[in-house]
Structure 1
Amino acid sequence: MSQHIFSTFHTQTQCRVRIQIGWDRPMKGFYMVVLKADTEKLADDDEGVVYSNLYDVGHPKELSYFRRVAEKLEIQIPEVIWRNAYADGERNVVNHTAFYDAAGNVLTGEQ
């Protein structure tokens, strides 16, 4: 599985979220999850999941569906993340992780 990870403030939930997009090689499709970042501050009944493809569409072969989800959630994801995830699908990548800043620059280390 490839992982392209980006954190930002999400206005709809009023908290920081961590977005993960990538290619799932065993499932032969893309995935996207959006999780609240500050889980220690969540109420006991809040699992912190803002969006997960597992509760929605499964693993589509194209990223266009997730682009629409991000738009609906009002999350601006840098274009480079979409391109890199798409390239992972083209190359059937596994075991790759990249972290990005708000401008789409790759960061070193986990953020």
Structure 2
Amino acid sequence: MSQHIITVPCTKLGAPVRVQLGWDKPMPEFYLVVFVEPPTGQELDDTKIVYSSLDDRQADGQQDLGYFKGVAVQLGCYVPSLCLCME
């Protein structure tokens, strides 16, 4: 499994989010999870999920990062191109 984790602003929430984007080799698909970024000094609360590809039927078996770029745009998150070059 490979993954990138970055913190980016999210215009939809008006707050920063933590974006985890990766390739799940055993499942041969990309995945995306977006969490609310905790305040400085606090731990990530994995119950504060903004988006998870596990809950998105269209993400099942997704082998195209363009799909997740679209999800990020809908959420108002700017994900740098570097994270979208994982193929």
Letter in 2 for 1:66: F
Within 5 Å, give how 1:32-71 maps onto structure 2.
Answer: 32-38=32-38, 47-56=47-56, 57-71=59-73
Letter in 1 for 2:25: R
Partner of 1:19 in structure 2? 19
Q: Give the TM-score of the pair, scaled to structure 2.
A: 0.81
In structure 2, C-alpha distance between the alignment counterparts of 1:73 and 1:16, rounded to whole Å: 11
Q: Give the TM-score of the pair, scaled to structure 1.
A: 0.65
The root-mean-square deviation of aligned C-alpha atoms, in Å, is 1.8
Alpha carbons 1:31, 1:59 under 8 Å: kept: no
Alpha carbons 2:10, 2:78 under 8 Å: kept: no
Alpha carbons 1:53, 1:59 under 8 Å: kept: no
In structure 2, C-alpha distance between the alignment counterparts of 1:20 and 1:60, rounded to whole Å: 15
Structure 1, unpaired ranges of 5+? 41-46, 87-111
Residue identity (%): 38
Higher relative contact order (CA 8 A, sep 6+): 1
The alpha carbon displacement at 1:15 in A equals 2.3
Aligned length: 80
In structure 2, C-alpha distance between the alignment counterparts of 1:68 and 1:9, rounded to whole Å: 16
In structure 1, C-alpha distance between the alignment counterparts of 2:53 and 2:26, rounded to whole Å: 15
In structure 1, C-alpha distance between the alignment counterparts of 2:50 and 2:78, rounded to whole Å: 15
